[in-house]
Amino acid sequence: MRADRSNIVETVLDKPRSLGDLDSRVALFGHPIHAMLVAFPIAGAFWVAASDAAYWWTLDPFFARSALWGAGAAFLMGCAAALSGFGEMMLVPGARRRAAAWTHGVIAMTLLAVLALNWAHRIEDFEAAVLPWGLALSGLQLLLVGFAGWHGGKLVFEHRFGVASPEEDGDEKAGGGDLAHTP
């Protein structure tokens, strides 16, 4: 049996929604820019680690060059994600009051520093840079991606940061995915 969803649709369409304590302020058409950008440095960190492992396995210089480009791309996109994340931290009042936001930010900035170090380490001689330090930096990157992602996930899934939810009669409800509640 499907629940009646008309009240939710009317609430969203009929009333202009005011920005809440944890609504994204750095957004494009309601979509948080940080959430859109953060996938690129994450993918870049995995790209570098996979390229390093492939170089270690094959000793093909293509993979060392691929890791150089991946490290640079991950760092540059990480800078863009960091700027949007910093904007959210400064503009969203509820973000600064949550330890997960500060923890996520500190770990993400540490990741950004390791990405920069990994890229700079490879610029002179990308083949010689892979073993052992390039591979070690890639492993550290993946570890930091995991921790930063964990705390970023806590912000979204536990604190509902940047998640649009309908408001009914001025009473904030934790929404997002649960549209099947009855009035």
Q: What is the pLDDT of residues 171-182, one digit of tens each?
A: 444 444 444 444
Pair 57, 4 in one domain: no
Indicate the pTM of the whole model: 0.73
| Pair (169, 101) in one structural domain | no
Q: Are residues 101 and 140 in the same domain?
A: yes
Of 59, 75, 62, 57, give the one whose Cα is nearest residue 137: 75
112 domain-assigned:
yes
Q: Based on the fold, state whether residues 57 and 109 are members of the same structural domain.
A: yes
Count each helix (H run) and each strand (E run) in the chain, helices first.
6, 4
Domain extent for 13: 1-17+164-183
Give the pLDDT of the chain (183 residues) as one tens digit per residue: 444 444 333 333 444 444 566 666 677 887 788 888 999 999 999 999 999 999 999 999 999 999 999 999 999 999 999 998 898 888 877 777 888 888 889 999 999 999 999 999 999 998 888 999 999 999 999 999 999 988 887 877 776 666 665 553 344 444 444 444 444
Are 140 and 54 members of one domain?
A: yes
- The end-to-end CA distance of the chain, in Å, is 16
Q: What are phi and psi of 128, to 5 degrees?
A: -70, -20
In terms of domains, do 6 and 68 share one? Answer: no
**Of the candidates 108, 143, 121, the residue with the CA atom closest to the CA atom of residue 71:** 121
Establish if 23 belongs to a structural domain: no
Q: How far apart are CA 176 and CA 165, in angstroms?
A: 5
- Given a contact cutoff of 8 angstroms between Cβ atoms, the answer to whether 166 and 175 are in contact is yes
How many folded domains does the chain comprise? 2
